[in-house]
Amino acid sequence: MKLIIQIPCLNEADHLPETLLALPRRIEGIDSIEYLVIDDGSTDNTVGVARQFGVHHVVRHRRNRGLAAAFRSGVDKALAEGADIIVNTDADNQYEGEDIAKLVAPILAGTADIVVGDRGVADNAHFSPFKRALQRLGSDIVQRLAGATVTDAVSGFRALSREAAQRVNITTEFSYTTDMLIQAGRKRLAIVSVPIRTNKVERPSRLFKSIPRFIANTGVTMARAYTTHNPLRAFVGTGAVIAVIGALPIMRFLWFWAIGQGDGHVQSLVLGGSLLVLGVLVAIMGMLADLIGANRKLLEASLVRLRAIEDGLDKRDKAAKDIAHQTESDRRKRAA
């Protein structure tokens, strides 16, 4: 069983050593542990520090592409390197490295596909009261959209099984956290939360410049992910609301028409009719989006099969190389 711990980084040369030193070297049930650093366009010596501290794999982006892209690059690299479990953690040492064992335990036990570290947002001393309330609200919304129990939806400390990593396709450009959970929930993957410890982080966030911007970007990400995986409900529901609103001015016109005063209220009929037509069009868009979603599911299934074929080819190539190496070693021994 191979575990790869990935760390997305942007100018983390000062904080990366502390994070790397805190990572576990051995975990019961894991045969090998490797570290992966994703350098997302850093301008400092992040890569040099990573190599100095013995990081096994480094992925570099020539320019900053954002956390979601860095996460995707890391998962792709970890899968290519044969990871059975992938753990993502932050470079600022917010999370306790020893708690990685807690994350991988449910996957090793076969009870979870994705495990999210719960920072205990409700009473975490490192969070302000406003941030606690905001985190709880966001997690409640994600739980409803994903149809799964997730107590800390934006926690970046999480573990994925190989199957989950192959089936979840991050499409957002902002942050992968909520997008992944909504996808995983709608794909009926088993999601588990485990309590973890946190350290106080002094430096400002590299992900967002202000809380209002974070809220706006996260809201757009959640709406987009939910609409992508539930287009019929999203569009038909929206169309139904518009149609109901459109029915109100029509009913108003009919009331005045029934008492003989309809001539002065034709505008209500026009407005209501327009809203009804708009509601029907939105509902039809939902039906079309649902058909497109069916094709997306077929494409995702094909992608999973393609990755399985690639895994098989990689294992065959590795076995062939091992046999060739052993044959060459035996030949040299006989020649000697």
The residues, any chain, with a CB within 8 Å of residue 280's CB and separated by 6 or more, are 239, 243
Supply 2's token pair: 């191979």
Parallel/antiparallel/unpaired status of strands 114-118 and 2-9: unpaired
Do 161 and 24 sit in the same domain of this protein?
yes
The tens digit of pLDDT for each residue in 85-115 reads 999 999 888 899 999 999 999 999 999 999 9
Give the 3-state secondary structure of residue 13: coil
Note whether 179 and 240 are same-domain residues.
no
What token pair was written down for 325? 């190496």
Residues 272 and 182 in one domain: no
Torsion angle defined by CA atoms of residues 116, 117, 122 and 126, in that order, rounded to the nearest 10 degrees: -140
3-state helix, strand, coil in the chain (%, to 5): 60, 10, 30
Whether residue 161 sits in one domain with residue 33: yes
Tell me which of 227, 254, 269 is where a domain ends: 227
pLDDT of residue 140: 82
One pLDDT digit (tens) per residue for the chain, 336 residues: 899 999 999 988 888 999 999 999 999 999 999 999 999 999 989 999 999 999 999 999 999 888 888 999 999 999 988 899 999 999 888 899 999 999 999 999 999 999 999 988 767 666 667 677 777 777 888 888 888 888 888 888 999 999 999 888 887 777 788 888 988 888 889 999 999 988 877 666 655 566 777 777 777 878 878 888 788 888 888 999 999 999 998 898 888 888 877 777 788 888 989 999 999 999 898 888 888 877 777 777 787 777 778 777 777 777 777 787 777 777 777 776
Per-residue confidence (pLDDT) for residue 334, from 0 to 100: 74
**Residue 40 identity (one-letter amino acid):** D
Entry pTM: 0.76
Rounded CA separation 110/127 (Å): 33
Residues 236 and 219 in one domain: no
Task: Classify each residue of 300-333 as buried b or exposed e, where b means 16 or more C-beta atoms within 10 Å of its C-beta.
Answer: beeeeeebeeeeeeeeeeeeeeeeeeeeeeeeee
183 and 280 share a domain? no
Residue with tokens 């990573």: 50
Look up the domain containing 326 and give its range.
231-335
Domain final residue pick, 227, 245, 280: 227
**Same domain assignment for residues 185 and 255:** no
Cα–Cα distance for residue pair 3/269, rounded to 1 Å: 64
DSSP assignment of 115-165 equals EEEE--GGG-TTS-HHHHHHHHHHHHHHHHHHTS--S-TT---EEEEHHHH
Give pLDDT, residue 293. 78
Distance, in Å, from the CA atom of 234 to the CA atom of 182, rounded to the nearest integer, reads 14
Note whether 145 and 266 are same-domain residues: no
What lies within 8 Å, CB to CB, of 266 at 6+ separation is 253
pLDDT of 46-91, one tens digit each?
999 999 999 999 999 999 888 888 999 999 999 988 899 999 999 8
User: What's residue 204's pLDDT?
Assistant: 60
Q: Are residues 266 and 223 in the same domain?
A: no
Out of 168, 196, 227, pick the residue that ends a domain: 227
Query: What confidence score (pLDDT) does residue 125 get?
Result: 65
Domains contained in the chain, number: 2
284 in the same domain as 249: yes
